[in-house]
A and B are shown apart, each in its own frame.
Chain A
Amino acid sequence: MSSGAADLAVAGLGTGAVAALSGLGVLATYRVTGVLNVAFGAVGMFAAYLERALVRDMHLPVYVAGFVVVLCFAPVLGFCLEAAVFGPLQARAADAGRLLTAGFGVTVLLVGIATAVWGEQARTDAPSLLPGGTSHIGGVDVPSAVPIELAIVLLVALGLTWFSRGGPAIRAVIDDRRLAELAGLPARRLARVGWILGTMLAALTGVLLAPQLRFDPPTLTLVIFETLGVAIAARLRSAPLAILFAFGAAIGQAELTGVHLSGAAGSVLDAVRSNLFVVLLLLATWATPAFSGAVSAVSALPRRGSRLLPPYLLLIVFALFAWVLRPVDLHAGLAIPALALVLLSFRVLHSAGLLSLGQAGLAGIGALAAGWASGWGILAAPLAGAVVAVVLALPVLRQAGLHLAVATLAAATALSSFLFDQPLFTPSSVQRPSFAESDRAFLYLELALVVLALLALTALVHGPGALRLTALRDSENGARTAGIAVDLERLAVFAGAGAVAALGGALWAAGDQVFDPTAFEPAQGLIWFAAAAAVGFADSTALIAAAIVLVIADSYVAGASAILVGAATLVLPRLRARWEGVTSHARAHL
């Protein structure tokens, strides 16, 4: 290896160590609790912001701040997450969908709080816990931080290995937490340890990573989240494999900086180099065997729609209200029908028991199509969305629950990194159709398209194919044995949901008359997913109402929608469960 290549490889060790710590944190929580901590990216982001605030705003020494954040704040947060959110959910035997929703609820809540407290502007002044400078060892430049980072990874890996090879009781809890609880083993105590360890490692990841980046709350959350690929590639089991993948991807990324190409190939290479962990995440979700059971991810989520207020009535009220809006409010309101369509795409997926965290990516495809095919792009968007949805669904078509969710999020992340963020592919403006160029005319066009989507949804949910979809949602195996072409049905549903989301994205971009890649970032998609989960995937009226609330909230305070959605995701399902308990009790005594 040449000296230059060796220097690059050593530089990659630092990033690899941080990714390894992140992966080990995910493993620590997952192996003890069975919960994939999707909030670890947000925890790392929040810890990095807190560290920065303690050092830059309160002038604490960097090591004191690090101690406060990683060894005091993070354990308390981990304990609270287990005690208040995930422990009670697991005690009620909540399914993968509910746990995932809670995880993303925590994510959007932390992103919202960070945005509200520290602002949404990008920052580059995160303090570094580790020493700067380099040493020259054996002809290679070694950053002083690298040996320390490697030592931390080694210590953490050894500690986790020792912990997971503990007595039979610990291994029993790791093997089957539910059964361990029934057998009186200390599953809850171990779960707390798992959450505390996982949260501390996520915080350490954020604190170590932030000084190397220009970051804002959603971006830093996503960058840490992308390292999830190392844990998934290790099948959420093997700590050594996770470390191997982390260092492999990081060294590969570093070595690619030594390769230079010109023209479009150079742009693609730049994109791959900057997003190698996204590639790993995508490939890991496609290639690894299922890492969650064949539980329908949305089986326990509410299925009935609202009977009090039909969605059409809500749209009529909105249309009448829009007639008297000031021009500036009317323009802001253009996002409401667009977002309503994206949220309604979750309703389409729910009809077959499917779950996708990639709807933001498909909305972005719709927006791109609207920009590329000027004027007629709005009509081309559903087709583009359907095609891309089918292509992205194919590799994971037979996966379910958590695996499917993470795979679709990985796909959205890849779309955002490789397509939306590349000036090569993005249009400079997005035209509206000539007959709807004014804001008011465009709003009524949007509302008409939402009505059409609702009619199509009604046909889907109550039409001749509804029984097949219900069978698919309730029991995939049962549906297969009944002769239903499960894979084809799933593809059709993914395509339909992709078309609806893409139409929403096209309207969004045409409303703004510009393609804004930040509008279709995966973090934004998580907020939309969490909002739909909080109000109920099956309730079209509630989904439209959620779109209204989110758009209004964000037009007043940046990050408000994230805080609202995060809180709603954590509180509403609990209130709903309590309400069901109360009504059940009341029925019993009538």
Chain B
Amino acid sequence: MPALTCDDVRLRYGGIEVLHGIRLALAYGTFSALVGPNGAGKTTLLDWCAGAATEASAASGTLRLDGREATTWSASRRASAGLRYVPFERNVFPGLSVLDNLRATAGPVGSESAFSRFPELARLASRPAGVLSGGERQLLAVAGALCGRGRILLLDEPTHGLAPTLVDRVLDELARIAREDGRAVLIAEPQLNLVARHVDFVWALERGLRLSASGA
């Protein structure tokens, strides 16, 4: 049974249709990338899947999580069902320290795991997330999702702002948790060449018109 399926997703902003009947399916144990140029609708699609689409959008389509119809579920109910979404912006709690961010999103055990995987974060443990650099925040957000209990991970441009050496490590870790822990991971990424050697599947989105999957 697929971890997540989207069927015939259509979404409008202010009378303009930005997604035109998208179909997508994610299986457990796979790492996939959603690629496409700017404005293709990647973030919109992930927002919709996570229940984070704004009121200004009007949508139709069906979302299933573990085979269960989840279209009308709230964002928190989807999260409770195992869906973990890391948005592109506003993805850390700025008033909490790095350690408390990880405790909140990944639990006490997950925070220890995050520090062992990314020692860079351990050095910042007591610092408020609000004063971190853009790259540090991004790493913190990704680490929280990676070490948390979500079984279906959606990440919007998780490598944005990261140092080149960290990009590969983050993508390797995402691939590892997908294959070893049996989780379903989907990242949105504008650059295919960046992710091609890490992922199992690539979903190509063109101006919200078509979504085609291919093995990487």
* Chain A interfacial positions (CB closer than 8 Å to B): 91-95, 98, 167-169, 171-172, 174-176, 178-188, 299-300, 577, 580-581, 583-585, 587-588
Contact = CB atoms under 8 A, between A and B. Distances in A.
Contacts, number: 103
Interface stretch (B31-39, B50-58, B113-121): B50-58
Contacts of A168: 96, 100-101, 103-104
B92 to A, nearest CB: 8
B115 to A, nearest CB: 15
A174 B79 CA distance: 18
Nearest to B81: A184
Q: Could you tell me the dominant secondary structure of chain A's interface residues? A: helix
9 contacts: A169-B103, A171-B96, A172-B96, A180-B104, A181-B76, A183-B144, A185-B104, A188-B76, A299-B56
Nearest to A94: B55
Interface stretch (B83-91, B163-171, B193-201, B205-213): B83-91
A172 B94 contact: no
B124 to A, nearest CB: 16
B10 interface: yes
Contacts of A186: 76
B91 A179 contact: yes
Contacts of B53: 93
Contact of B93 (A95, A179, A188, A577): A179
Nearest to B100: A168
Given A172-B100, A175-B96, A181-B75, 5 more contacts: A169-B104, A175-B95, A300-B55, A584-B58, A588-B21
Contacts of A94: 55
A178 B90 contact: yes
Given A168-B96, A175-B94, A182 B85 contact: yes
B interface secondary structure, majority: mixed
A580 B11 CA distance: 12
Contact of B55 (A93, A172, A179, A583): A93
Interface string B28-65: 00000000000000000000001111111011100000
A184 B60 contact: no
Contacts of B144: 183
A526 to B, nearest CB: 23
Contact of A588 (B10, B74, B91, B96): B10
Contacts of A183: 79, 84, 104-105, 144, 148
A328 to B, nearest CB: 45
Given A182-B79, A184-B79, A188-B76, A172 B93 contact: yes
A172 B148 CA distance: 15
Nearest to B14: A303
A187 B51 CA distance: 14
Nearest to A581: B58
